[in-house]
Chains A and B, each alone.
Chain A
Amino acid sequence: MKTLSNHLLLLVCTLVLLPLSFQVKGGTLNVCNTCTYTSVKQAVKAAKSGDKVVVNGGVYQEAGIEITKPLTLVGVNRPVLDGNFKGQIITIMADHVVVKGLTLKNIATSYTRDDAAIRVVERHQVKILNNTILNTYFGIYLQNAEFCEIRGNVVSGKDVAGQNESALGNAIHLWHCNNAVITGNTLRGHRDGIYLEFVKDSHVKDNLSQNNLRYGLHFMFSDGNVYTHNTFRKNGAGVAVMYTRNIRMEYNTFENNWGAASYGLLLKDISNSQIYHNTFRQNTSGIYMESSSRLDVQRNTFDRNGWAIRLLSSCTEDVFSQNNFTGNSFDVSTNGNSTLNRFENNYWDKYTGYDLNKDKVGDVPYRPVSLYSMLIEKVPSSVMFMRSFMVDLMDNVEKVLPSFIPDQLIDEHPVMRRIKDDNHREFTKTVR
């Protein structure tokens, strides 16, 4: 009995002291103009596993820093590492590395090497925190790295107007990385804000992605991820998600994604996913869906979009419920007559029905697809007759006597009042 308790004590002590000893063991190496180490590269080379390298304020002209042991690289007083367009600045090739509070800038476009300000190569549990990355090709590039955290970084490229897509890299680029956490980053002026490929079980939260040339968020083959509270604004083509299952998108804002081929959210081959509480404001198309099935689209707000939802007939078993549709030029448009999706209990500002029994649910069904939107889908040129009296007349006649519009695509129980989501939103704000 006694030996057992002794053993236990020993075990507990080891468990408590182990991380402590790890901390104690590590020394601190200072880098500044007058210190022992005047360059980050020297200090990183000299440091032992578990050491902390503190980079003090100033400008360091450095590129090609390779971290091959578990270090903590911390910037104090916003030091600047200027890559001078000579290639990658920091390459991380060890587990448990932390890079924090640095400003990294100037990386040239490199088509063959995909140079990034910070690259993590096949390592785990790396943390990249509160860095500022300016004028680079790729910003943060993770390949085959698991359990990494990217938090509070600002990645800012250049003005993308008139740029070629291939001449720009992505702000945050993850490839084959599972269990990543990407929170609170601000990303602009790159090709894609966040690019995920083969990234599973990750969290993307509180990021702001705007003014990127292509997509604010772009992911493919990335199952089981959660996207919450992000804002995607004024990106060339909005947000695109493809070939993925089991994702959750909640409380995101998609706004001002304008242009001929621009979407708030483009869904292609997505299945078994939830899209809750998002706001789609002033996009050319709020959601564009192709070959997507078993999606649950609930409690979203579609406000002042050209098309709120463009639902191609390749989509099946999708459910749209309790969404608000206000001020959209077209609520729903589709290209076929298939009726495999369900609309229920949404609020439509164009609904003109009545509610005799006062249960706040309209007594007559609402058909969100108008004849004119079908016509535009078939003959795009007829967009010229938008708001013409003839078109309004046609739409109204069709509403009374439907013969062309898919008569099964219908909201049987439209609600009379706008669905308020504010309480819930306040609640989650406090929770998060």
Chain B
Amino acid sequence: MGKIIKYVFYDIVRSKIVLAYTVFLLLLSLGLFHLGGNPDKAILSLLNLVLLTVPLISIVFATTHFYNSYEFIELLVAQPINRSKIFMSEYLGVAGSLSGAFLLGVGVPVLLFGASATGGYLLLTGVLITFIFVAMAFLASVITRDKAKGIGVALLLWFYFALIYDGLVLLILFTFSDYPLENPTLVLTALNPVDLGRIIVLLNLDASALMGYTGALYKSILGSFWGISLALGLMLLWILVPMVSSRQIFARRDL
């Protein structure tokens, strides 16, 4: 398994796309830290960036990578290796290299200019989101053999989680504004990993506006050690569910 991961990893690094991704993140975060002056502000801008670009790049890159290495996977399947082992190696190779790129590109500037608990949460969120969206990409890729369709599904997933979902929930909240909505909102945000990541970072950062009555309520629920652990646990669940289900599909599928 270690050997396959190594192969996948080398393959990705050779393709230079991950390198470009690293440089892109590095330039952006360095730029933000230099422009803003205030590290808190820079982390806030970085948060928006991380929550938008990291899922997009993770999901698109992982999907294309999966289809491009189809022949390599077929070759491996012909060998006496367990299918789920092959799948896990592919997954860890891709997710690991993308997280590495993220940690280099965003982590180094954050540690240099804005080292704080919030910065730590930002990095953790970024890595978790990378793992989540690579898992979703793999799910999209094992569902269909058609590359265009797979990428389409992947993009749709990104679009849904990064954009549409918030709009839908806001619409729901607005429609049912006459009812007590504190707990439903909490449940609804837990159903979107991007929102979860945002809230984890935000509760450590933009406390002032979140401090109104509702904000205080959420802070008391999510700001505590248990709340953060719960949010992180939910994000882990968001990795496990698509990963395990796509592994299952891959193991049984007719290639």
Contact residues of A with B, CB < 8 Å?
A: 258-262, 282-284, 304-307, 327, 329-330, 375-376, 378-394
The answer to whether B211 and A390 touch across the interface, beta carbons within 8 angstroms, is no
Confirm or deny: B210 has a beta carbon within 8 angstroms of a beta carbon on chain A.
Answer: yes
Q: Closest Cβ of chain B: how far from A370's Cβ, in Å?
A: 12
Q: Interface code B56-67, partner A: CB below 8 Å = 1, 0 otherwise?
A: 000000000000
Contact residues of B with A, CB < 8 Å?
A: 41, 44, 47-48, 51-52, 162-163, 166-167, 169-170, 173-174, 177, 181-182, 184-186, 189, 195, 198-199, 202, 206-216, 218
For B165, the closest partner residue in chain A by CB is A390
A386-B202, A389-B51, A391-B170 are known; give 15 further A-B pairs, CB within 8 A: A258-B208, A305-B208, A329-B206, A379-B174, A379-B177, A380-B213, A381-B181, A381-B185, A383-B212, A384-B218, A385-B195, A387-B198, A389-B162, A391-B166, A392-B48
CA distance A315 to B186 in the complex (A): 34
Q: Closest Cβ of chain B: how far from A307's Cβ, in Å?
A: 7
The answer to whether B163 and A330 touch across the interface, beta carbons within 8 angstroms, is no
The answer to whether B163 and A390 touch across the interface, beta carbons within 8 angstroms, is yes
Given A304-B208, A389-B52, check contact A382 B170 (CB 8 Å): yes
Measured between beta carbons, the chain B residues less than 8 angstroms from A389 are: 48, 51-52, 162-163, 166
The answer to whether A284 and B169 touch across the interface, beta carbons within 8 angstroms, is no
The answer to whether B163 and A380 touch across the interface, beta carbons within 8 angstroms, is no
CA distance A330 to B162 in the complex (A): 23
Q: Closest Cβ of chain B: how far from A389's Cβ, in Å?
A: 6
Q: Closest Cβ of chain A: how far from B188's Cβ, in Å?
A: 8
Q: Point out which of A262, A376, A389 has the most chain B C-beta atoms below 10 A from its C-beta.
A: A389
Q: Closest Cβ of chain A: how far from B46's Cβ, in Å?
A: 12
Question: What are 26 A-B pairs with beta-carbon distances under 8 A?
Answer: A258-B208, A282-B208, A284-B212, A306-B212, A329-B208, A375-B170, A375-B174, A379-B177, A380-B212, A380-B213, A380-B214, A381-B181, A381-B214, A382-B173, A383-B209, A383-B210, A384-B186, A384-B189, A384-B199, A387-B198, A389-B51, A390-B167, A391-B166, A392-B48, A393-B163, A394-B170
The answer to whether A259 and B211 touch across the interface, beta carbons within 8 angstroms, is yes
Measured between beta carbons, the chain B residues less than 8 angstroms from A327 are: 41
The answer to whether A387 and B162 touch across the interface, beta carbons within 8 angstroms, is no
For A389, the closest partner residue in chain B by CB is B52
Given A381-B181, A385-B195, check contact A390 B166 (CB 8 Å): yes
Closest 10 CB pairs of A and B: A329-B209, A390-B166, A306-B209, A306-B208, A380-B214, A260-B216, A381-B185, A381-B181, A379-B177, A260-B213
The answer to whether A390 and B208 touch across the interface, beta carbons within 8 angstroms, is no
Measured between beta carbons, the chain A residues less than 8 angstroms from B41 are: 327
Q: Closest Cβ of chain A: how far from B160's Cβ, in Å?
A: 12
Measured between beta carbons, the chain A residues less than 8 angstroms from B210 are: 306, 383, 386
The answer to whether A383 and B173 touch across the interface, beta carbons within 8 angstroms, is no
For A388, the closest partner residue in chain B by CB is B166
Measured between beta carbons, the chain A residues less than 8 angstroms from B216 are: 259-260
Measured between beta carbons, the chain A residues less than 8 angstroms from B209 are: 306-307, 329-330, 383, 386
Given A383-B218, A389-B52, check contact A261 B213 (CB 8 Å): yes
Measured between beta carbons, the chain A residues less than 8 angstroms from B170 are: 375, 382, 385, 390-391, 394
CA distance A163 to B209 in the complex (A): 26
Q: Point out which of B166, B173, B198, B208 has the most chain A C-beta atoms below 10 A from its C-beta.
A: B208
For A330, the closest partner residue in chain B by CB is B209
Q: Point out which of B174, B186, B207, B214 has the most chain A C-beta atoms below 10 A from its C-beta.
A: B214
The answer to whether A384 and B185 touch across the interface, beta carbons within 8 angstroms, is yes
Q: Closest Cβ of chain A: how far from B75's Cβ, in Å?
A: 41
Q: Point out which of A261, A307, A384 has the most chain B C-beta atoms below 10 A from its C-beta.
A: A384
Q: Closest Cβ of chain B: how far from A262's Cβ, in Å?
A: 8
The answer to whether A381 and B208 touch across the interface, beta carbons within 8 angstroms, is no
Measured between beta carbons, the chain A residues less than 8 angstroms from B162 are: 389
CA distance A330 to B52 in the complex (A): 23
Measured between beta carbons, the chain B residues less than 8 angstroms from A394 are: 167, 170
